[in-house]
A and B are shown apart, each in its own frame.
Chain A
């Protein structure tokens, strides 16, 4: 499967590297879709097991948000790495190795958003 050796193309920019799992972008996207399916199916079980105070719909929107955050990535190896991390999170959630607080951390409930405009930053004391 990982058969391409590390070679440097003579012409210049293109570098052939060893892939992590998928050889091209389509395979990487397929892995992303599989991971999304697994998460989508897992959310109602998570809400029930951890006795979370959110609805299934909110949970699924949060999953979609986390996936959309990395929508712009095009490198297959980066996508594979993100899929691996997503699978790790999924495993920890399914086996209840996490706790309620770890799952609710995704929702940033008690964090204040950082100030963006000049006056708020000034009042808080941040450098502009």
Chain B
């Protein structure tokens, strides 16, 4: 996670248009690895929280570097990565057998209460409530990604 942001910093440092705030960024880049704290959480991987502590989005317009306190924008790729990461951490799922299209009940042999636990982990990860009427229909990681993308207005 931190490595990706550092890469972004280096790339933006290389761009001549951002010369104005390159000094600022280099200071940030040095601070970032110290600031990311990894707290061992048993089931919920709260990758969102580590991202809060790393620096926020840099304006790509290049004129001013406003550092607003906001998360980086969600894309379908990042949503899928986070969903699969959380699912791999779940101890009742075999990480080798897990794919985006694997059905929780039929392929992975999970219970309906296990599925409730998984949906709750997704709620904790992405920070918004998923009502039970819609949660009971989400049976594969692909469906979860689609649902989150619908709710968060992420499209390609």
Q: Which residues of A contact B (CB under 8 A)?
A: 29-30, 33-34, 36-37, 40-41, 56-57, 64, 67-68
Contacts and interface: CB of A to CB of B under 8 A. Distances in A.
Which 7 residue pairs spanning A and B have beta carbons closest together? A33-B116, A33-B132, A36-B116, A36-B113, A34-B132, A30-B132, A37-B116
B143 interface: no
B133 interface: yes
- Contact-residue bracket for chain B: 10 to 19
Q: Is the interface of A mostly helix, strand, loop or mixed?
A: helix
B112 A67 contact: no
B136 A30 contact: yes
B107 interface: no
A57 B136 contact: no
B112 A37 contact: no
18 contacts: A30-B136, A33-B112, A33-B113, A33-B116, A33-B132, A33-B135, A33-B136, A34-B132, A36-B113, A36-B116, A37-B116, A37-B132, A40-B116, A40-B117, A56-B42, A57-B42, A67-B113, A68-B113
A17 B9 CA distance: 68
Nearest to B117: A40
Contacts of A33: 112-113, 116, 132, 135-136
Contacts of B42: 56-57
A37 B120 contact: yes
Interface in B125-149: 132-133, 135-136
Given A30-B136, A34-B132, 10 more contacts: A29-B112, A30-B132, A33-B116, A33-B132, A33-B136, A36-B113, A40-B116, A56-B42, A64-B113, A67-B113
A64 B112 CA distance: 11
Contacts of B133: 30
Interface string B101-113: 0000000000011
Contacts of B117: 40
